[in-house]
Amino acid sequence: MEGTFEVNGKPVQWVFEPDATLLHVLRENGHSEVKNGCSAGECGACLILLDGKPVNSCQVLAASAVGKSVVTSSGIGDIHDPHPIQLAFADVGAVQCGFCTPGMVLAAYALLQDNPDPTEEDIKRALDGNLCRCTGYVKILEGVQLAAGRMRGNG
> Is 30 or 98 the residue whose CB approaches ligand FES more closely?
98
The CA angle 94-132-142, to the nearest 5 degrees, is 30
Q: Is residue 130 involved in binding ligand FES (CB under 6 A)?
A: no
- Residue from 25, 50, 58, 106 that binds ligand FES (CB under 6 A)? 58
Cβ pair 46, 130 in contact under 8 A: no
Query: Using CB under 6 A, which of the segments 10-18, 91-99, 110-118, 144-152 binds ligand FES?
Result: 91-99
Cβ pair 128, 100 in contact under 8 A: no
- Residue from 15, 17, 42, 152 that binds ligand FES (CB under 6 A)? 42
Angle between helices 138-151 and 84-92 (to 10 degrees): 140
Report the C-alpha gap between 133 and 142 in whole angstroms.
17
Query: Using CB under 6 A, which of the segments 2-10, 63-71, 98-106, 115-123 binds ligand FES?
Result: 98-106
Q: Is residue 128 involved in binding ligand FES (CB under 6 A)?
A: no
- Residue from 38, 51, 93, 136 that binds ligand FES (CB under 6 A)? 38
60 closest CA partner among 100, 31, 19, 99 = 19
Residues of this chain that interact with ligand FES (CB under 6 A) are 36-39, 41-46, 56, 58, 95-100, 132-135
